[in-house]
Amino acid sequence: MSERVVPESAPSDEQVIAATRLWLERAVIGQQLCPFAAAPYLHDRVRFHVSAQRDPAGLREELCLELQRLQDADPKQCETTLIIHPQVLTDFLDYNDFLDECDAALAELGLEGELQVASFHPNYQFAGVPEQDITNFTNRSPYPMLHLLREASVARAVATFPDIDEIGPRNMQTLRRLGHEGWRRLWLDP
């Protein structure tokens, strides 16, 4: 993203959450990359969980706990969870491989069809797209994270949003219009 968003030294949980909030406000919501993100965020129904895990096995255990916590929570209090894990799966290919573990965890907990996991990473790269192509930035976050979503929330959002299939192409157009320089300017203090 930007040096101004991601501190060079090991960040505190507060710094990780602040950088994630800035990314949500200026990119995800600010650029309307996700038309469903504003309501839960503005109504304080997003749980920010910073993981201290340093290995994938520990992160998987924590993922299972957070999936169960979200399932058990009142959606009016906690609609979605961001597990931000700055110290594990920093390599995108390792992170991408871990997504299979996320699917397996959902199945083991019997939460398929109830919850899902979306993926964001500082080095996110779509298959077949060059690494620095600006369209990859639609899924680039300040730190590796797993976004836990309720299927019911997704279904409600999809039902109210016309042309759901246009979100991806529209996001790519938005990022192409911004370009690398416009993306960089998002992180400058106002």
Whole-number percent of the chain with pLDDT over 70: 95
Residue 6 lies in a domain: no
The predicted-structure confidence for 92-111, as pLDDT tens digits, reads as follows: 999 999 999 999 999 999 99
**H or E element, residue 168:** helix 167-186
Task: Please tell me which residue, 76 or 162, carries the higher pLDDT value.
Answer: 76
Quick one: how many helices (H) and strands (E) in the chain? 6, 4
4, HSE (Cβ side, Cα atoms, 13 Å):
10
Whole-number percent of the chain with pLDDT over 90: 86
**pLDDT confidence bin for 72, thresholds 50/70/90:** very high
What mean pLDDT do residues 51-58 have? 97
What mean pLDDT do residues 68-74 have? 98
Residue 5 lies in a domain: no
Q: pTM higher than 0.75, yes or no?
A: yes
Report the chain's C-alpha Rg in angstroms: 16
What pLDDT is attached to residue 8?
56
Residue 4 lies in a domain: no
Check pLDDT > 60 for residue 149.
yes
Residue 2 lies in a domain: no
- Phi/psi for 70 (5° steps) reads -65, -45
Check pLDDT > 90 for residue 179.
yes
Residue 85 lies in a domain: yes
* Dist CA 24 CA 142 (whole Å): 10
* Dist CA 100 CA 37 (whole Å): 24
Number of domains in the chain: 1
Burial class (CB in 10 A: 0-12, 13-18, 19+), 95: buried
What pLDDT is attached to residue 169?
94
Residue 110 lies in a domain: yes
What pLDDT is attached to residue 9?
67
- Phi/psi for 189 (5° steps) reads -60, 140
What mean pLDDT do residues 14-43 have? 96
- Structural domain of residue 44, as residue ranges? 13-186
